[in-house]
Amino acid sequence: MNIYLQALKRDLRIAIRNPSSILNPLLFFIISVSLFPLAISSEATILSPIGSGIIWVTSMLSMLLSLNALFHHDFENGVLEQMVISHHSLPLLILSKITAHWILTGIPIILLSPLFGLFLFLDNNGVYVLMITLLLSTPSLSLIGAIGASLIVGIKNSGMLLSLLILPLYIPILIFASSAVSQAQFGLGITGQLYFLATILIVSLMTAPFISGIALKISLE
């Protein structure tokens, strides 16, 4: 089997055998979204305009929560060393790991989002656009997050540092994604926002694995 597919399969297998790594960020997402109606109001008129923002912020935070472990275990046990000295492409091996991260954290959020969209009184069009923005942008969150995770891989207790490094880079995604959902609810055009999110995805897909590779090599030295 292709080594890159094997790396993907390996990460998925490890996560399935250690389900807390998948369930914890997902539970964080579910609980956080559920807290907003309790704290603010359960009125549709209040929740509907801010629903997309709530889902987007919590999605971002729950994906961030799981990023710390992206390279950490492989760094600790020496698998990362073996990946770096392998003659295979390190960026592609990293891309396999990022893909596994997205499958394990991004896809469950995308699948749950319609339910929570309805829970926060988004209309059908809003829910549909919310899913599209999540589908377009959660891979970008994993890709950009991988850069931060690779920079802090050798630093102990670095969870807060990762947030400080990565959250500012997530801001453009947050602005364009939540504005797309809000505008869709008012029946306005969202093409510009979707193009922008797609551009971020393409740019991060083309650069993040390479930057992560360089950062990991530096961390291992």
The string of DSSP codes covering 150-180 is: HHSTTSTT-HHHHHHHHHHHHHHHHHHHHHH
Residue 82 touches another protein, criterion: CB under 8 A: yes
Region of 61-69, 71-79, 140-148, 182-190 interacting with another protein (CB under 8 A) = 71-79
Nearer to another protein, 84 or 110 (CB): 84
Which member of 34, 76, 111, 195 binds another protein (CB under 8 A)?
76
Give the type of residue at 39. Answer: A
Angle, in degrees to the nearest 10, between helices 124-151 and 69-77:
30
Residue partners of 168: CB distance under 8 A and separation at least 6: none
| Rounded Cα–Cα distance for residues 140 and 102 (Å) | 9
Q: CB 127 → another protein: shortest distance, Å?
A: 36
Which member of 41, 78, 155, 202 binds another protein (CB under 8 A)?
78
Nearer to another protein, 87 or 156 (CB): 87
Which member of 50, 73, 167, 172 binds another protein (CB under 8 A)?
73
Task: Report whether 184 contacts 132 (CB < 8 A).
Answer: no
Binding footprint of another protein on the chain (CB under 8 A):
1, 3, 6-7, 10, 13-14, 17-18, 73-74, 76-79, 81-88, 220-221
